Chain A
């Protein structure tokens, strides 16, 4: 049956269009219930005995939620307890229109077999389709469609079960809708009412989202915030340049301050400072907001005060005083920044937040404040009756809304992640907070894995170079299971050397566009945490089929050079190949073979050849101005049983490390050149921009304090002056300088060659660079493999590979994932460091001053690669006399002057006073400054450390 749907639409140009769509109605849409005999559904989704214990409905029933219930209570619907739900097409369409993430979640729920969610296409069903009537708004029409569908189900099921007990229950929070549904004889409840009636699942109630319209309006009618402007006003305001649109970034250190980054081109102001709760006006980190600029007289400078929102109670007053603190800053007109206020929110970017509950002082209260782990997120008020159970637990909370008369946003409990401080929980938290996708791979993804047992086929042998006879070996850190590179070196009859780098051929297994490829592209990188690895590709590939383990035949992508003994490349050759690695060595093992003069087998000879060439290559590279930088990296020795860190040491670099690195760099550069030559518009490359000169200020000042001058005009000059800066009886000085130099650098990024013109890699002093050598753990390398395979006619191309805009979008995701992975890694190290010190108690260590600040010094402990801050200002105690000289920079505390690079002694301990933000605390023991330093622990080992407040 054919109907037509007619509607009028306004076009962007301002015209009005009448649009007519054909709409077909069918009579073969089944109800999806197991009970039904009439419908010829082959695999009914809805169960016959749909039992859930409820006070209100003692009979088996199916639920039909309306749009608002799905939108607001998706957390509830996702709970495994809630099953046998009919999701109407009307609801789906409305949800899709209003929130893409929730649409995705409800779709996922429908796909999950155990949930028994059934999507009923009522809009195309002959008996449930309704046309919009005169005078009916779109919403009313949809509500009516939902009621009609619910009514149809009621009648249909009653007929099928001969008046049996199976019923449908409509869930709606709309009062008018509920009344009308009751008039039609439907069973209808409010969502809250229904969830509260469920027996034995009280925790679900906490996950109910608060409804802002009803009595849940917390606190009086006092308006704390100015009203947000409606979207239409905001849009016209932005068009007329009265308002600016940008992304809001809350300050990490000061909850009353934030910055909006304006992302419009041609705008001379690209940052707007916001100060004070009123001006922040309920913006939450990452929201897209509209801001209005203040006139110049009201511009202020960002305050340097650290403020944490830690008032214990839920009071909405008492803010004025703190805000005053902000204002009393001395004003220098040069540091004033454009200041403004938020007038409206264009798009909320809320996600569920991890954090902890701060229990209300009143014991029986059900309203509590939740403190997110991320300091940039305001505290959230939630309602729960299980507060006592949640204290000390890491929980997840979603924001529902932020009414203008509430100091804090309102939210609801989503899930409990586990005990705070627990290793599993904390890892989960840091993965969630850094947006690292870490769910197990879905069935769809796994279905694209090769079937086991897998072996190399005849066809593979035909199209690939057979390099199985070569003496290939791999060198990796101990315990590495995802080996993606192997090397060989042999003498050629003409006296030259043949060097080969063999990289796991991941792109053979991951074909473009399938679910496996999409998942890998979205993950972007494997994330290595302490004692845990979050794979980019399923384990079968990462640790088995792609991993170039010894004595198995593996597919590889080889880059083979012919070199003379001065490491000059005579010929470069790329080929897909089959290899059989003869040995998987660790760096230490390889080093031992090279050093042991008694060993003379093929592998050792090969390694020696490689090592020799690598040294020459490195020399050449450094000659060109490549930087050798340093950052203190630590490695934990884990207890094999408990996986607790038992020892901690900085990573040691052996010659073999740099040997492997050298050939990887060479392969990457060779490949980068090749793919750029062949695809100048769409090659995926990596660049490292040279830092702006101002970045080096701190390094130059620091070196000057020891009478060295650092030249930063070029990478070469910088490398040379770093090499020259050594002090005889202070060997660590040079490392410290290099650590500082590392901090001055820019972030290296992926980009698409067609979208950029500056390809230079500053740190490696190479005009072009890419990533080719780790396809198991980086998606960028997979793309590079595909490009190279096309370039050598070993594989076919596909449209997305040649589309520079798609390529560029991919690069953005990869850059984001890499950054987040790095942060997650650091957070994991920090957490394990805390665990380590928790077990150790208080330790006395030697360290160096890395930075001098106005009220603190930052100290690096070389032994642990640990950085910590010693503050000289206390909240409760009178501060010692401080005088800061920004030229040195030096800080004079009482009588003692601290210089950068000074050697000090500190005690290290774990400060667990705030479970959420545990931190390593350092206290000065040497030099001794009365009133500031603490006695060394040896002098009174058993005495409990007096709590030293910051």
Chain B
């Protein structure tokens, strides 16, 4: 459900860009997806492949996903650590007062056009 919502917005952004820059066909879209953004990449790609067929500008656009590693900051010892490996508890001082600082995003990095 979430994936489809994001794809609707992605498509809208791309169509706006295509219109502004008089692009007729987009060949590739590169997205940067945070490791803990909650986006399931296989499902996301399926949704995209289903969706793009209905939109002339996007029809030829292959989706490329790059992963952004998630990083958590520990406010107790002020160090960063990889979120996916250690989760919410700081591996250095075992504090639970930790915040995600990167890895939740989904960014359109670039598009390749004809």
- Whether A and B are associated in the same complex: the answer reads no
Please give the residue numbers on chain B whose beta carbons come within 8 Å of chain A beta carbons, in ascending order: none
Please give the residue numbers on chain A whose beta carbons come within 8 Å of chain B beta carbons, in ascending order: none
